[in-house]
């Protein structure tokens, strides 16, 4: 077992990936190393900055250094004791149109230099490719994937099978379906760089899901070129386990300072908003005055620290079951990211299927974006497909969960006690359910089951969430056989919407509907009115 999943949340996994040079923990960023112009030495990236793995380009090594990495071994050549992944030169095909090597040659070279994780020479689709060209890149990639297992000689290298197709989702699915049939250890989504550079994160969501849903769930997924920390949480939540990028160095050359929520120009900074070892010991004014080379080193190291810190935050959130909350926070870093998280509604059932059913903590519901989170989707499906109310129940009593939780351990109000007494007196005829965002209908016998009573929601509800709760109530009333529905309601704006929806559904179904207004009425009067209804 070369990949072992330790923790899960959404589609994110904290995993252990075993290689011949050691075991690395995912999700993980692999900084891109170019030995010709490397600003931060690989040894420092590993021993000081704490990165367990890096990636370098086998084609560039072969072209510029020829047999030197072969003779010395790649780890010694780079002076790096961690895990090394090599790309094949496919990106050079995208930028230059061709490379001076063959798929078989680059496979043999990667085996000779002792890399830990290797990539076939696939054919990138790119952003502007025509349909015909995209189809050819998919075919070439699949063919080269098949050729690998005829030419490879080593069994101790993990091989990456890229998935091409560009932004054409059907081609991504076709490529992924064929690549999954081959015994690759890792898969990678190809051609996402231009999509991310154009801030089309909504399209990236579609591309990742097109690949993810067609690939074996147990194999790690690598996202090429994803190197900015503000989008890590989105990629990890979608099931990406590995990333690589040279952005930390490229941004440093342009005096660009990464933060977890975006990028700043060094020239605009009066203060460093970062407590990393680099920023905590100096000021922007001082850094602006040092030499260009030293400034580049400073920014590159800071950028790596920020990337590392964000991945640790994501891992901790995953372990605590709070990745959704972290994702929502990061989504507000940029409108394009928020738009991308809204796109998750299209894939909510797939995410729910693969997300844990129980977690270590409750959930926070902020707005309608949260309606796509797995806990809410799962509850809706179970109520609609698996739940049946008590057979003897003739009256459905709906109480707002935000106003009063009637039968729980901590509910000690006089009104709660009175309602509890009434429920005992009429327990054969009356079935109590609460209603609230984000779950809609919650039968009282399920109320203590995770996460129905481990949820905090922001009030007042916005329109879309109110409509969602109303739809769940309408669906529940429409598919059950109560003779009377009694709604306890505050007549706040959002509860009026629920009142009208329930009343219309009962009228349409031809069953009795009763409404008790809780607003500004003493508990004794409410209890008396409720008892009159229940006696009938």
Query: What CATH number corresponds to the domain at position 506?
Result: 3.40.50.10630
pLDDT at 404: 44
* Percent of the chain clearing pLDDT 90 (strictly above): 73
Q: Is 497 exposed, middle or buried (0-12, 13-18, 19+ CB in 10 A)?
A: middle
Cβ neighbours, 10 Å, residue 531: 15
Backbone CA torsion sign across 346, 348, 354, 360: positive
Together in a domain, 66 and 14: yes
Cβ neighbours, 10 Å, residue 170: 11
DSSP for 339-401, please give it.
HHHHGGGGGHHHHHHHS-S--SS-EEE-SGGGGGSHHHHHHHHHHHHT----TT--EEEEEET
Instruction: State yes or no: cis peptide before 446, omega within 30 of 0.
Output: no
* pLDDT digit string, tens, across residues 144-190: 999 999 999 999 999 999 999 999 999 999 999 999 999 999 999 98
| Winning range, highest mean pLDDT, from 154-163, 361-370, 411-420 | 154-163
**Assign residue 22 a region: left if phi > 0, alpha if psi is -120 to 50, beta otherwise?**
left
Together in a domain, 32 and 180: yes
* CATH number where 210 lies: 3.20.20.105
Q: Is 81 exposed, middle or buried (0-12, 13-18, 19+ CB in 10 A)?
A: middle
Distance CA 126, CA 395 (A): 61
Q: What spatial distance separates the first Cα and last Cα of the chain, rounded to whole Å? A: 65
Helix (H, G, I), strand (E, B) or coil at 434: strand
Count Cα atoms within 13 angstroms, Cβ side, for 395: 21
Together in a domain, 347 and 407: no
Together in a domain, 428 and 289: no
Of 35-44, 319-328, 334-343, 525-534, minimum mean pLDDT range: 525-534
- Provide mean pLDDT across the span 280-292: 96
Helix (H, G, I), strand (E, B) or coil at 55: strand
Whether 450 shows a pLDDT value over 80: the answer reads yes
Count Cα atoms within 13 angstroms, Cβ side, for 109: 25
* pLDDT digit string, tens, across residues 34-82: 998 899 999 999 999 999 999 999 999 999 998 999 999 999 999 999 9
Together in a domain, 392 and 277: no
pLDDT at 523: 67
Any catalytic annotation for residue 87? yes
Together in a domain, 288 and 378: no
Give 94 or 473, the one with higher predicted confidence.
Answer: 473
pLDDT at 410: 44
pLDDT at 531: 76
Together in a domain, 423 and 340: no
- Provide mean pLDDT across the span 253-269: 96
The total domain count for the chain is: 2
Q: Which of 315, 330, 354 is the last residue of a domain?
A: 354
Whether 403 shows a pLDDT value over 80: the answer reads no
Q: Which of 354, 380, 408 is the last residue of a domain?
A: 354
Distance CA 46, CA 521 (A): 67
Tokens for 360? 């270590």
Together in a domain, 336 and 392: no
Give 368 or 427, the one with higher predicted confidence.
Answer: 368
Together in a domain, 348 and 379: no
Whether 527 shows a pLDDT value over 80: the answer reads no
Distance CA 90, CA 137 (A): 11
Determine the distance from the C-alpha atom of residue 467 to the mean position of all C-alpha atoms in its chain, rounded to a whole number: 26
| Cβ atoms of 251 and 303 closer than 8 Å | yes
Q: What is the pTM (predicted TM-score) of this model?
A: 0.90
Together in a domain, 83 and 204: yes
In DSSP terms, 244 is beta-bridged to: 30
Together in a domain, 192 and 292: yes
Structural domain of residue 23, as residue ranges? 3-354
Question: Which one of the listed residues 9, 87, 116, 202 is annotated catalytic?
Answer: 87
Together in a domain, 401 and 375: yes
pLDDT at 89: 84
pLDDT at 193: 81
Whether 417 shows a pLDDT value over 70: the answer reads no
Which residue's structure tokens are 């309602």? 419
Q: Which DSSP category does 227 fall into?
A: -
Q: Which of 354, 384, 410 is the last residue of a domain?
A: 354
Q: Is 366 exposed, middle or buried (0-12, 13-18, 19+ CB in 10 A)?
A: middle
Q: What is the mean pLDDT of the chain?
A: 90
């Amino acid at each position: 077992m070369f990949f072992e999943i330790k923790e899960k949340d959404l589609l994110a996994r904290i995993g252990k990936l075993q290689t011949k040079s050691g075991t690395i923990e995912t999700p993980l960023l692999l900084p891109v190393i170019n030995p010709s112009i490397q600003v931060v030495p690989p040894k420092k990236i590993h021993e000081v900055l704490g990165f367990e793995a890096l990636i370098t380009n086998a084609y560039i090594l072969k072209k510029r250094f020829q047999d030197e990495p072969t003779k010395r071994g790649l780890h010694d050549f780079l002076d790096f004791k961690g895990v090394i992944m090599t790309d094949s030169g496919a990106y050079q095909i995208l930028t230059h149109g061709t490379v001076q090597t063959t798929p078989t040659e680059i496979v043999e070279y990667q085996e000779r230099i002792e890399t830990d994780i290797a990539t076939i020479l696939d054919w990138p689709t790119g952003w502007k490719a025509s349909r015909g060209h995209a189809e050819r890149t998919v075919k070439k990639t699949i063919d080269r994937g098949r050729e690998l297992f005829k030419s490879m000689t080593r069994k101790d290298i993990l091989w990456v099978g890229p998935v091409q197709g560009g932004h054409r989702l059907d081609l991504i699915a076709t490529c992924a379906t064929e690549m999954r049939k081959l015994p690759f250890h890792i898969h990678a989504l190809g051609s996402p760089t231009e999509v991310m550079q154009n801030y089309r994160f909504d399209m990236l969501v579609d591309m990742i899901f097109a690949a993810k849903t067609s690939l074996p769930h147990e194999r790690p997924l690598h996202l090429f070129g994803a190197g900015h920390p503000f989008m890590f949480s989105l990629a990890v939540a979608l099931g990406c386990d590995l990333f690589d990028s040279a952005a930390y160095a490229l941004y440093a050359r342009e005096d660009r300072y990464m933060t977890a929520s975006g990028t700043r120009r060094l020239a605009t900074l009066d203060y460093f908003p970062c407590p990393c070892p680099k920023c905590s010991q100096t000021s922007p004014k001082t850094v602006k005055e040092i030499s260009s080379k030293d400034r580049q080193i400073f920014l590159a190291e800071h950028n790596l620290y920020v990337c590392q810190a964000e991945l640790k935050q994501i891992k901790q959130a995953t372990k605590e079951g709070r990745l959704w909350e972290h994702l929502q926070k990061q989504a507000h870093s940029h409108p394009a990211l928020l738009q991308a998280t809204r796109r998750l509604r299209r894939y909510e059932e797939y995410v729910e299927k693969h997300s844990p059913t129980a977690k270590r903590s409750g959930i926070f519901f902020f707005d309608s974006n949260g309606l796509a989170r797995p806990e809410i989707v799962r509850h809706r499906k179970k109520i609609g497909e698996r739940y049946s109310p008590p057979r003897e129940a003739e009256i459905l009593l709906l109480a707002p969960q935000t106003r009063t939780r009637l039968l729980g351990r901590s509910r000690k109000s006089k009104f709660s006690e009175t309602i509890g007494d009434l429920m005992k007196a009429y327990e054969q005829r009356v079935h109590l359910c609460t209603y609230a965002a984000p779950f809609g209908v919650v039968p009282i016998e399920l109320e203590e089951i995770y996460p129905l009573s481990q949820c905090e929601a922001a009030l007042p509800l916005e329109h879309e969430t109110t409509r969602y709760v109303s739809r769940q109530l309408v669906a529940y009333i429409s598919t059950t056989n109560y003779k009377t529905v009694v709604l306890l309601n505050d007549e706040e704006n959002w509860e009026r919407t629920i009142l009208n929806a329930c009343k219309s559904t009962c009228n349409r179904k031809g069953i009795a509907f009763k409404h008790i207004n809780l607003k500004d009425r003493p508990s004794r009067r409410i209890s008396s009115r409720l008892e009159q209804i229940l006696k009938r």
